[in-house]
Structure 1
Amino acid sequence: MIKTEFLIFEVLTILLFIACVWHASRQGRFRVWELFFSVVYGVLLEWMTLQQLAAYEYGQFVIMFDGAPLCIGLGWAVIIYSGMEFVKNLEMPTYARPFLVGFLALNLDLAMDAIAIRLGFWNWVIPIDSQWFGVPWGNFWAWYIVVVSFSGLIYLFRAWGWRIDKNGFKRWGYVPLSLIGSVIMVGVTNFVYSTVFIRTELMGAFSMVVLFWLGIVMVFSARPTIIPAKRLDWVVFVVPLVFHLYFNIIGFVKGYYAQLPILAVIGLLMLASGLVVHSYPAYLKRGSVR
């Protein structure tokens, strides 16, 4: 029998995806194409990981493809989409944008994953009190690589003009090529992680620090400037808000926060920081009007 919490999460991801499709449709068919292929990528990525590795397994959701839940693919899609849309509020070089999108995704996962495993969404093979509250360090490594590589290749092909090229293969093919390229990058980097950094927990944590430090350097070296937004983009704002609220509510209702108060601190801190970051461009515009 499907748990109520699982069903609610599936419904939420479907609703968020519908909202993102509407949002993308206002920008043209190729933005919708990118969004839909993000779902394909998300489900394919999860399925491949389940087939090749034995690091985790999913609980029972309503819609699953050979063990990979559709809602997880939808989650990947809307998180990447909202991150890329938010980054439009910054004036910065193209090369640095995917690294910032990756950090926006991590803002969610640092709080979400520890609650999700306690709820039974998925189960890692490590003890519940190991590494990041039961979540392997390699999970965050993979999250960052997935988001940075996929969004980065999309940005790259756009910069090359493939999105508007008269050649049909380029116009429609740049997104599948981004998927293939990202899968290769994830596979290579995961191999490096599993052969070099996974030997001890300390090395796993160190690899995260190095990876994130490189990302921070890339973002800040670009010297991004915030462009004041005319108004708050509610679809882009609501995507991270819904994820944060859902897992924070679960944390309180299920007693996970009472059992481990540090999880509450992390969850609420990620929620607050996410709200501030996503609302700041609109706040700047209001301030300039005054």
Structure 2
Amino acid sequence: MAAERGYPVIPLTRAKLPALRSPHRGHPEVPPCHGGCGRLGHGVHDAGTDPFTIRRMFAAAPWATGYGIACGLPPHHLIGLDLDTKNGADGLTALLFLAEAHDFPVPPTIMVRTPSGGRHVWFTGPPSPPVPNSVGRLAPGIDVRGAGGYLVGPGSLTTHGRYVLAPNAPARPAPAPSALLTLLTDPLLAPLTPTRRASPQHTGAGYEPPPGVPPQPAAALVRFVRSSPVGQRNARLFWAACRAYEDGLGPELAARLTEAACHTGLPEHEARATIASASRRHHEQPC
């Protein structure tokens, strides 16, 4: 059980929401109560590892079909990266690009497969500074679960299916690479994200990066393609070409991206076709 391994949990509904309603519903307290009243129903603030508390929560919510794991709490100070695959986003490719651009490894760690085909990647972090929650700030397709957030635990059953632990997962999550921690915690540091927009279902409008966020460096995109392993060559090239066209660098970088793809063993005609596809996709709708 997750709680036995030190992960604070709460019961969740099929909609992935906390299963217990707030005891202050209709009568909100000012400042908001985070559980000091002693009653249940404070969402992630109720999360714990104590067996009695857990039994009490689940007994009060027999309709719960899953559980959430609170992030940012001791002893693990869990950080979750929710890698999405919806609305044209590719969270896994975006994470690999960030790792390439900022020169940090993505270590073997716990991964949970989501019903939609995405993945939750677990890391541990230091007690401080706290990692904030965010949607699409790091890159389109990457949502961050930090202090005050939670991840749906493996084995949970939701409306869209069950969350499943990826095979061959290590017993414990790996520590987050220091360069990744810096991206997650420094609000003034510009992550290498597309400047056009974030995930539309969360923003509802065109995404504008914070002042000073530069376009993705051409050299980082070229390196990302040049380091593609077999099986990811076309996918990485298409993703990088989309990012280049979003930054207005598509025509300028086409030859360099083609050369980088050929370096990996991709035939030149196939590389050119992939870049042309990214160009058409960009003009029809943003990648």
- Which of structures 1 and 2 has the larger relative contact order (alpha carbons within 8 angstroms, sep 6+)? 1
After TM superposition, the score normalised by the length of structure 1 is 0.23
Which is richer in strand?
2
Which is richer in helix?
1
